Amino acid sequence: MKERLLKLPLASKVGVLRGLGPARAEALREAGIHTLRDLLFALPFRYVDRGSVLSLGSLDLAGFDGAGQGIVTVLGAVREVRQSTSRVQRMAITEVLLDDGTGTLRLVFFNQPYLGRSLRPGERMLAFGPLVHGRAGLELRSPQFELLGREAEASWVRRFLPLYRKLGALGGRVRQHLVEEALACAGEPPEWLPPELAKDLPPLLPALKALHAPADEDDPARLEARTTPAHGRLATEELFAFSLGVELRRAGRMARKGSVVPTSPELRERLKALLPFHLTGAQRRAFKEIVEDLTSGRVMHRLLQGDVGSGKTLVALLAMAMVSETGGQAALLAPTEVLARQHAANFERLLGGRAGALQCLLGPMKAVEKREALRRIASGEARYIVGTHALFQEAVQFAKLQLVIVDEQHRFGVKQREALKAKGLDPHWLVMSATPIPRSLALALFGDLDQSVLDELPPGRQPIASKLLAHGAAERAWELVGRELAAGRQAFVVSPAIDPTDETKVRLRDIQAMEALLRQRFPGVEMEVVHGRLKADDMAARMARFVAGDARLLLATTVIEVGVDVPGASVMVVDHAERFGLSQLHQLRGRVGRGTAKSCFLMLSDSESERLQVLVETQDGFRIAQRDLELRGPGEFFGTRQSGLPQFQAADLIRDAALLRRCREAAAEAVRAGLSEAQQDWLGQEGQRLRIAEVS
């Protein structure tokens, strides 16, 4: 690559690169690549180690396994391209003859007629795929490939060849050229990392060079595992940038004025009167932290997390009462109607004589009811408000909203907050997480929230006997269910939700089959069936019948997983338990054992018994969550791509948990001490994109 004399900052737009037409620029833009830094931080998805590229002359099938088939990587020049059509199925066949000077090999592609038009003799191609015996000797069948340009530009004398994903109209090879050009013209930025983070790391540009054009003596295993010092530099940059954003947002929040909620001995007495039992030590600690926030004059932004059954709801009610008993309004946002109704019923009971101040607001309410609810909220008559996302619709006007609690649904908190901001409201904010979240993830996901943790269960809670049974032993589960039902208790049966396009479904028992089984096994027992395809009010009515005890058996998909409280239920059977995440199973298990009866949790499964065994061994939700996270990774852990988790190129939230902690500390210190000039420059260039100014 040609070195340019005048070096450009990494924040320069990619438009400065040569050979970037409108279509390619558009492809980059769509992939979120705007600057040289973006382009260079997007690493190759793979490196081909030329040490492992086989020369064509050396190929023979003898070295491969019994089926005579193995995956090989080859590199050569296209000598000939032939296009034909198979006689029987009228299928396009493209044959390419590859030549590397030591021998030749036929590559065969099916149904990709455009290849015949686009591949040109002289083009160098890197191909990997299964080597098989074809009609005319050895061939590579339907290989994956990369085009490396014309023979004249031999740049593949390097050992490691980086491969880039195609981005829309932008092929991997062109991308590599752009990267090379960017590396040649980018200047080393001033060091912006605090010395304690930077001390063992290579500078940024050499690190980027090492990752886009690895030196021949690099260790392929470390490159593949992304653990080279160069990766360390990028991961640290990413995590420090993220941390700095979090800390700056936090500092911004600290500077914001929040409504001061008054306390008094009299109020404390009133709150105490609401409590049906003594708070656990953890609940007391969490509540104290909340009170400190509410009386501090700052805006509270707190995550309340705790194991299933640790009593988050009671803490939430106390926080609401702080506000509502002193003339303000507090709203609890529940993820589903079932849960909103349950919270409302709970609060009604606890509030006793003051329940007149309680108001529920749900999506599908009758028009008259809704109008009255909105009126009560706007007039301030309603001070304890419980609802679903309907709470944040435009028509809702609050008299004096001081506190919002988001239950079980951290993912959507951000949007709701924006909706409120649009109304000019900046209430205190408490997020309750459904399941325990490992610390590293909590830091990444809720970085700018303060945390309160309920790490203690209310006294007298009996451990839930948990068992893993093969389907062959399912009869034991049904006997137990029968016994509990006969003793007047209730039972849950959970079936996995099965996507009809899932190819493995043939082997799974779906909810219909389970319903038939249960009806036959427990004739005359009142049963309700709930699943995600039901209309909201139908679902709520069915759940309500079970909660009220009118139905004794509930067959459900995971729609019941969060929060539902049915004290009469003492047993749960989960079919095909391997289809669930560990945290999800733990959350499901938390639906039983909420009353006084001894409870059981039975998982039916014929596979993954080692993973599921974790649930049998421990009831500690934090340990289960950590294991779940290690096994499935952060994206899966939250069950969705839109979980709000930050996306990193080189950093890995699990592997780099300790590094993230160091970055957080360093960023907090940097903000406290005042940013260095390099950090301020960096912020000027990158800050807007990180939405650092955004109020959280």
Residues that bind ligand ADP (CB under 6 A): 277-280, 283, 306, 308-314, 458, 563, 565, 590, 594
Strands 70-85 and 104-110, by their bridges, are unpaired
DSSP string, 580-646: S-HHHHHHHHTTSS-SSS--EEEEE-SS-HHHHHHHHH---HHHHHHHHHHHHHHHHHTTSTTS-PP
Shortest separation between residue 536's beta carbon and ligand ADP, angstroms: 22
Strands 401-407 and 428-432, by their bridges, are parallel
Binds Mg ion (CB under 5 A): choice among 162, 436, 563, 593: 563
Secondary structure of residue 172 in the 3-state scheme:
helix
Name the residue nearer to ligand ADP (CB basis): 309 or 413.
Answer: 309
Alpha-carbon span 308 to 584, nearest angstrom: 11
Name the residue nearer to ligand ADP (CB basis): 308 or 445.
Answer: 308
Give the binding range for Mg ion (CB under 5 A) out of 444-452, 465-473, 519-527, 561-569. Answer: 561-569
Name the residue nearer to ligand ADP (CB basis): 232 or 306.
Answer: 306
Shortest separation between residue 310's beta carbon and Mg ion, angstroms: 9
What, of ligand ADP, Mg ion, none, does residue 277 touch, CB below 5 to 8 Å by kind?
ligand ADP
Shortest separation between residue 497's beta carbon and Mg ion, angstroms: 22
Query: CB neighbours (10 Å) of residue 606?
Result: 13
Alpha-carbon span 232 to 236, nearest angstrom: 6
Give 502's Cβ-side CA count (13 Å radius).
13
What, of ligand ADP, Mg ion, none, does residue 258 touch, CB below 5 to 8 Å by kind?
none
Name the residue nearer to ligand ADP (CB basis): 220 or 458.
Answer: 458
Residue 219's φ and ψ, nearest 5 degrees, are -90, 115
Name the residue nearer to Mg ion (CB basis): 563 or 581.
Answer: 563
Minimal CB distance residue for ligand ADP: 311
Shortest separation between residue 407's beta carbon and ligand ADP, angstroms: 8
What, of Mg ion, ligand ADP, none, does residue 308 touch, CB below 5 to 8 Å by kind?
ligand ADP
**Which amino acid does the sequence have at 392?**
F
What, of ligand ADP, Mg ion, none, does residue 594 touch, CB below 5 to 8 Å by kind?
ligand ADP
Identify whether the C-beta of residue 259 lies closer than 8 Å to the C-beta of residue 428. yes
- Tokens 């191609």 sit at which residue? 125
Shortest separation between residue 565's beta carbon and ligand ADP, angstroms: 5
Name the residue nearer to ligand ADP (CB basis): 44 or 311.
Answer: 311
Alpha-carbon span 173 to 496, nearest angstrom: 44
Shortest separation between residue 275's beta carbon and Mg ion, angstroms: 17
Query: CB neighbours (10 Å) of residue 363?
Result: 15
What, of ligand ADP, Mg ion, none, does residue 280 touch, CB below 5 to 8 Å by kind?
ligand ADP
Name the residue nearer to ligand ADP (CB basis): 12 or 283.
Answer: 283
Residue 404's φ and ψ, nearest 5 degrees, are -120, 135
**Which amino acid does the sequence have at 25?**
A
Minimal CB distance residue for Mg ion: 563
Shortest separation between residue 306's beta carbon and ligand ADP, angstroms: 5
Shortest separation between residue 317's beta carbon and ligand ADP, angstroms: 9
What, of ligand ADP, Mg ion, none, does residue 314 touch, CB below 5 to 8 Å by kind?
ligand ADP
How big is the chain by its Cα radius of gyration, in Å?
31
Name the residue nearer to ligand ADP (CB basis): 17 or 317.
Answer: 317
Angle at the Cα of 329 from the Cα atoms of 327 and 335, rounded to 5 degrees = 160
Name the residue nearer to ligand ADP (CB basis): 305 or 324.
Answer: 305
Query: CB neighbours (10 Å) of residue 189?
Result: 19
Size of the site for Mg ion (CB under 5 A): 1
Residue 309 near Mg ion by CB under 5 A: no
Give the binding range for Mg ion (CB under 5 A) out of 375-383, 442-450, 517-525, 556-564. Answer: 556-564
Cβ within 8 Å of residue 134, ≥6 positions away: 106, 108, 141
Shortest separation between residue 435's beta carbon and ligand ADP, angstroms: 9
Alpha-carbon span 615 to 463, nearest angstrom: 12
Helices and strands (DSSP H and E) totals, the chain? 23, 21
Name the residue nearer to ligand ADP (CB basis): 455 or 665.
Answer: 455
Tokens standing for residue 235: 């991961």
Alpha-carbon span 474 to 390, nearest angstrom: 43
Name the residue nearer to ligand ADP (CB basis): 35 or 342.
Answer: 342
Q: How far is CA 78 from CA 142, 301, 334, in A?
A: 16, 61, 61
Site residues for Mg ion, 130-149, by CB under 5 A, read none
Shortest separation between residue 264's beta carbon and ligand ADP, angstroms: 24
What, of Mg ion, ligand ADP, none, does residue 279 touch, CB below 5 to 8 Å by kind?
ligand ADP
Name the residue nearer to ligand ADP (CB basis): 44 or 306.
Answer: 306
Shortest separation between residue 583's beta carbon and Mg ion, angstroms: 15
What, of Mg ion, ligand ADP, none, does residue 259 touch, CB below 5 to 8 Å by kind?
none
Name the residue nearer to Mg ion (CB basis): 155 or 346.
Answer: 346
Torsion angle of the four alpha carbons 122, 126, 127, 128, in this order, in degrees rounded to the nearest 10: 170
Alpha-carbon span 430 to 403, nearest angstrom: 8
Query: What string marks each residue from 32 to 51 as x (binds Mg ion by CB under 5 A) or -?
Result: --------------------
- Of 552, 585, 586, 556, the residue nearest 569 (C-alpha): 552
Alpha-carbon span 416 to 406, nearest angstrom: 9
Alpha-carbon span 22 to 40, nearest angstrom: 20
Shortest separation between residue 420's beta carbon and ligand ADP, angstroms: 24
Shortest separation between residue 313's beta carbon and Mg ion, angstroms: 5
Chain residues in the site for Mg ion (CB under 5 A): 563
